[in-house]
Amino acid sequence: AQSVTQPDIHITVSEGASLELRCNYSYGATPYLFWYVQSPGQGLQLLLKYFSGDTLVQGIKGFEAEFKRSQSSFNLRKPSVHWSDAAEYFCAVGAGGTSYGKLTFGQGTILTVHP
Amino acid sequence: EPEVTQTPSHQVTQMGQEVILRCVPISNHLYFYWYRQILGQKVEFLVSFYNNEISEKSEIFDDQFSVERPDGSNFTLKIRSTKLEDSAMYFCASSRDRGREQYFGPGTRLTVT
């Protein structure tokens, strides 16, 4: 069964600082990996996705993530955080193959940005 | 930019009542999903739907739940007899192809009293 772990429940950074949110997954084959962001009272917005190919993927809002198969990780990074990045971030793994695309989510990381 | 829409944004119902949550997926998408998020917990998969039938469902999706695509645009989740523990945010999502990225609606907050 697929699973996702986000070790950090809450992270606080200063505006302008760099950011890395951790995500570890468990899946038997090559996973499809996603990062979503949820602002208070809002739905889930897709930040970026990995299916295959280049292991460093670029997303919206200046975010990027790197797939490391050897570490079963898909960490999200941003070189300089803006106050508007404060939100909850979810890593998700999707099953390929014969699956119809069920996503399994991590428990989320709440990002607080200090001015 | 096309988006997934959901109505209502908030639904309050009494225990034992039936509720129908509505979603309009992105128009050229073929795969549809429902997820829920109980306050403070993970987003959980409920069901996937393709070609007018359920393709996969979780153990949460018991006989109290049903889904339907009544016309070419709507996708609904029905809970027949709501329980207190059904209180959650329910998200609809759609995808163009199997296994591709899913686009989520803003959610319906269901409160069962």
**Chain B contact for A96, CB < 8 A?**
yes
Closest in B42, B56, B107 to A43, CB measured = B107
| B84, HSE (Cβ side, Cα atoms, 13 Å) | 1
Query: What integer pLDDT is reported at residue A16 of this predicted model?
Result: 97
Q: Smallest CA–CA separation between B109 and chain A, in Å?
A: 10
pLDDT tens by residue, A47-106: 999 988 889 999 999 999 999 999 999 999 999 999 999 999 999 998 766 666 789 999
Q: Tally C-beta pairs within 8 A across A and B.
A: 66
Nearest Cα neighbor of A34 from A42, A44, A46 is A46
Closest residue on chain A to B4 (Cα) = A43
The residue of B89, B102, B103, B108 whose CB has the most chain A CBs within 10 angstroms, and thus the best one to mutate to test that interface, is B102
User: What does the block give as tokens for B57?
Assistant: 């469902």
Any residues with CB less than 8 A from the CB of A75 and at least 6 apart, and which?
A: A20, A21, A22, A23, A65, A66, A68
**Chain B contact for A105, CB < 8 A?**
yes
Angstrom distance (rounded) from CA A81 to CA A89: 14
pLDDT tens by residue, B66-100: 999 988 889 999 999 999 999 999 999 999 988 78
Closest in B31, B35, B103 to A46, CB measured = B103
Report chain A's C-alpha Rg in angstroms: 14
Mark yes or no for CB contact B98/A99 under 8 Å. yes
Cβ–Cβ contacts within 10 Å for residue B111, how many? 13
Q: pLDDT grade, residue B50 (50/70/90)?
A: very high
